[in-house]
Amino acid sequence: MTEKLPNGPSQEETEEVVHSIEGYMADLMSEKALYMSRCKPLHEAIKDVIEDAVKTKNFDKKALKITVKQREYLRKMEKLENELDQVTQTALDRLQAHLGTFADSPLGKAAMDAAKAGTQRPRKKRRDPLDEMMREEDPPPDDAAAAE
């Protein structure tokens, strides 16, 4: 029973396409698992460097992670801007000029005024998914080690 709707694919064509996509998705998941297993030692090395910096050099863990992430984003932005052709760069400059900077926005102006006045509203503790991942990887403390 291949029922074909007007202006649309038949049931067989639909099943064929969906099964093909699902096959590729299964292959993709397999590749992601391999990739993650190759990345695990690197993630552990990063975690060790951060923990060492916090313990031995008195770095603030959150500030260190934010700094690294900011630098990563800046490099990505610079790379994107360097790859632009002249026409696109001109269009980007025009858009940014029309939008203004953060300090030109109402929220930015309020933040700048608060900074000048020396007042800050209390910040809510934000969820840090990277920190949560790092904590999940930490093994629970040994009862014998904790007793010492």
For 89-132, write each residue's pLDDT tens digit: 888 888 877 777 666 777 777 877 777 777 656 666 777 777 77
CA distance 129 to 135: 10
Whole-angstrom Cα distance, residue 81 to residue 108? 24
CA distance 18 to 124: 45
Q: Report yes or no: 128 and 62 within 8 Å, Cβ to Cβ.
A: yes
The predicted model scores a pTM of: 0.48
Q: How confident is the model at residue 9 (pLDDT cuts 50, 70, 90)?
A: confident
> Residue 118 carries which DSSP code?
T
Specify whether the CB–CB gap between 37 and 30 falls below 8 A: no
pLDDT at 112: 75
Residue of 128, 8, 145, 108 lying closest to 61 (CA atoms): 128
Q: Which amino acid is at 93?
A: D
